[in-house]
Every structure is written in structure tokens, then in C-alpha cells.
Structure 1
């Protein structure tokens, strides 16, 4: 069985979309894959409740309890590795990962970013797209590399930027598309493993 470990920091809506897709599309039977665990760096992450309700193992590692980013990432990797992951999926995990962590999971670490990469890496992507006068925005699923938001692109969704858009309105439309493309990209990636 190909185990998937998903990392979250908050509501976990992309994680939930992946879990639902795995259930509805019978990934266990069709892809020999399952979501084995959901791990958060925040104890109050609402996504942990959803994961628990689905019978998925959960864990919390508070990054503030570690002396350094490296110490946190080492402990995080140890927690992830207990689940023998074929794939590690970042779903709103709001931590910049150390190069050592990324290297440990090279070729099996995915992320989704709320812009059409390579445009607007980093934060505040929706406002930056509006401020730049973009006609289109979107989301990108990519492999994670040591350099932020530049790994190989696996899938993208395009959303029009409307004249009356606020960052919040645009973000909501982009998020709806993230919930479509992230599970698709994960399933496609699993088929290649």
C-alpha cells in the first residue's frame, strides 16, 4: 500500500478534498494508495478534526517547541517516516522547509501554490495578481525543491481575474479549483510510483 502523509496548518480544505477523492475514487483498490496520516504544526488546526473523523491517524508537532527550524524538521521527518510514506503532500502547511527535509523526500514531496507559477511565488499572491493587472490567476501543483515554489509543475488551474475582484473573492475562486486539481495531481503522481 502506498501511504500518503498530508501536512496541514489550518482548516485543511485541500487535505479534505484529497481524502474525499481517495474515498470516492477508491484509491485503495485502484491505486493501492491511502491517506495514512495527517500531521499539523498547530494543535488547533481544524483539519485534524476532519482527519480523525475519517479514521486517519493524526499528529501535532508544535514548531514553537523546537530550538531551530532544523530541529523541528528532523522531528517532523521522524514522525512522517513512522507511516512509511510513498508520498508527502503539503496542504496549507505554513512552514518553509529546510533543504535537508526537502532532500529526504526528494521526488515524493508535493505542494500546491495559489498562483500560476512561476508568477507570484511566496505570499499575498491574489492581491499581487490584482495589483499587477493580471487578467488570469490560478493555482499550481508542483514538486517541492529546496528553492521556494520553483519545483516541476504537475498541474495548473486558471481562474479569470474579474474587474471587481478583491483578494478574498479571487482567493475563494482559486481555492475551489485547488480542490479539483490537487486530488487529480496526487492520483496521477501515485500512478507513476
Structure 2
């Protein structure tokens, strides 16, 4: 979807509503805003938000799901997924509620991941560059934390975490 060339779109809000039976991928860029809700699938799903974009996810279920969030973008909402891969960088953030069996999360560049209300069994984390992650894990948390970053965890998981560079781990 794009704007037709040759027209002035100054001072207007552009809004598009799309209804469809299935979604495989949603990509937002360039300070875009998006909302996706109500989809139910066991298929793989990909979300990408870059360039100060904002995405709200509401009442979704999906199979394995990838989140690529960069450039000051923000993703929030509720989703239940099979497994999740989260890559968050460049002062971006994610704030989710829901469930996944296992997740892998890499957070860097002063980014934030609030998964306190997103229950998982197992989490693998890589946190760097003054980033902050909160994860709610029941079984295990493995990974690396460096560069003045912080991991806060909920639950009583077994921990196997390497730390360096004035980083911290605490429970809540």
C-alpha cells in the first residue's frame, strides 16, 4: 500500500483498514502505526517495525513468531504463540502479554522488553548496550548480559547466565 505520487498529503491522517482471513507477515516502517487483531492460526508469523513505527497486537494466536523491532519502534499488545524469536535494537521497545512455550530474545542499544505478563517455559536471552528485559519464565533462563544491562525475571526458573560490564540480574 502506498500513496499516489504527484499529490500533496500534508496535514492529513492516512488510515487504511484491511480485512483478510490470514496474515503471515506485517512490516511497518517510517513512523507508521499499525494495529492487528483477532487472527487465529498455527502458521508462522513475522512482525517487523522500524523507523519509529508503532504496532499494537490484540487477541491473536499464532505458531512460531518472529519480532524484528528497530529504530525507536514500539510493539505492544496480547498474543499467544508456539515459540518466539525477538530481536529488539536501537532504543526500541516491546510490551506483550500472552504465552509462548520457548523464546529467544536479543535486546541491544538501550532497548526495553517487558514480558512480565507474557508467560514462557524457557527463555534464552542476549542483552547488551544498556538494555532492560523483564521475562516471566517457569523452567529455565539461559544467556548473556553485558554492557550495563539488566534482566529482571518472574517465576522460579533455573538460571544459567553469564554477566559482564556492570550488568545485573534480579527477581521480582
| Between structures 1 and 2, the one with greater helix share | 1
| Between structures 1 and 2, the one with greater strand share | 2
Q: TM-score, normalised by structure 2?
A: 0.27
Q: TM-score, normalised by structure 1?
A: 0.25
